[in-house]
Structure 1
Amino acid sequence: MTGDFSQDLYCFPGSNASCVIAQFGVGTKFALYLLFALGMLVTILGNSVIVSISHFKQLHNPTNMLILSLALVDLLVGVIVMPFSAFWTIHGCWFYGDAFCLLHSSFDVFLTTLSIFHLICIAVDRQQAICNPLHYSRKITMPVAWFMICVSWTLAAVYSYGLFSKANIFNPLWGVLDSVICFFFPCTVMVCLYTKIFIVVKEVKELKRHL
């Protein structure tokens, strides 16, 4: 190999199934480590909203509780998932065994799915606040917000750890179903909700313009 790569080395030289180590140059490897470190730092510090919402009781409302839970999810991604993923990406090898690989993958799917569920809950909250403002405080209460949070965590955990297995990781059909369940369907729901919000806001602006 030429350029920024050296001769092929293997993760586990004595194994026939060993993968090739990505032999980046010192400069490239340093840049990648720096990039991933900055990404983790931004992810962790960017969710300092947890401290603000938790500390000030004035901020304890349904919307902020959903944001607080979402911030906790993102914080876990930065602390638990990203470091191992970064090392894996840079070296091209997984050195922590099959069991932890499956656990890491499951946790990655769990947090990703959980984040999407939270975005749906926040979209529902905003839709109710803008489209039904007179009934919002009655429909979206603190218990309702906590219920949505608990349901999101539970469903994501059941999906990730109950259905996600090593067999499914390499199953093309499961990959398609996972994309539909955890991405395309939730995104469709959110697009519909925010489209409705956009239409209502536009109608209100038109009404104010004619008054």
Structure 2
Amino acid sequence: MYLHGNEKVKVHNLNCKLICLLRNVFVIAAILLEKNLQSVANYLILSLAVADLLVACLVMPLSAVYEISREWKLGPELCDMWTSSDVLCCTASILHLVAIALDRYWAVTDIDYAHQRTAKRIGIMIVILWILSFLVSIAPMLGWKDPEWNKRLENYECLVSQDIGYQIFATASSFYVPLLAILFLYWRIFLVARKRIRRRQQNPPSS
């Protein structure tokens, strides 16, 4: 059966959503069921998979409906919930990448960190990540919206708040600041690793 261009895009997007859903289900199941993977270090990976799974379960279905119908007829409340869930899950996913980079940085630079990496410490880190993500996502529901928000809904269009202040706040919190933090942390990890390799080359172990 021949598919037109738009239909091919929709099928491709549906396949990507299904792959995303299954991939994260497998990651969560592997960590929960396999004892060898139930380490404190993998708690962040588990929470990251939950965040990505929530994107597939809460955001993608309504996104698919909106993409197919090309109109938002589900009301302002659901629009608020959908866009906020999108920001929440995506922000949480990105912040988890920062936390994983920070965890690896501490593991490389601090000899005693392996003993300090307790379930409580990682659990507190995960809670902080979700709270920060919630604060970023809840702002539009508390009124931080642009003046055209209601007008867009009347035209059956649902978008996250286009207020310039919120856009700067959200994009900085959800992308630019985490990106810079990840680049900095992995750069520091690279420098430490290179320094150790050079030290080993200069001082080879005696046989």
The TM-score by the shorter chain falls in which range? 0.7 to 0.9
User: What per-residue deviation string (whole Å, max 9, x for no partner) do you get for residues 51-107 of structure 1?
Assistant: 010112322222211000100111111122112223323432212111101110000
Q: Select the residue among 193, 196, 200 that pairs with 1:208.
A: 200
Please, what TM-score do these two structures have when normalized by structure 1?
A: 0.81
For 1:142 and 1:81, how far apart are their aligned partners in 2? 30
Q: Select the residue among 74, 80, 94 that pairs with 2:72.
A: 94
8 Å Cα contact 1:32/1:90 also seen in 2: no
Q: Select the residue among 97, 100, 108 that pairs with 1:119.
A: 97
**1:32 is matched with which residue?**
9
User: What is the Cα-based RMSD across aligned positions, in Å?
Assistant: 1.9
Q: How many residues are paired up?
A: 185
Matched, 1:170 2:162: yes
Query: What residue identity is the alignment partner of 1:158?
Result: L
Q: CA deviation at 1:173?
A: 2.4
Change (3 A) 1:87 1:32: farther
Percent identical: 30
**1:41 is matched with which residue?**
18
Q: CA deviation at 1:153?
A: 1.5
Matched, 1:199 2:176: no
8 Å Cα contact 1:66/1:121 also seen in 2: yes
For 1:139 and 1:93, how far apart are their aligned partners in 2? 51
Matched, 1:187 2:179: yes
Q: Select the residue among 126, 132, 135 that pairs with 2:112.
A: 135
User: Per chain length, whose mean CA-contact separation is higher, i.e. which structure has more relative contact order (CA < 8 Å, sep 6+)?
Assistant: 2
Q: CA deviation at 1:36?
A: 1.4
Structure 2 gaps, min length 5? 147-160
Q: CA deviation at 1:40?
A: 0.8
8 Å Cα contact 2:136/2:170 also seen in 1: no
Q: Select the residue among 53, 78, 83 that pairs with 2:31.
A: 53
For 2:129 and 2:179, how far apart are their aligned partners in 1? 16
**1:154 is matched with which residue?**
131
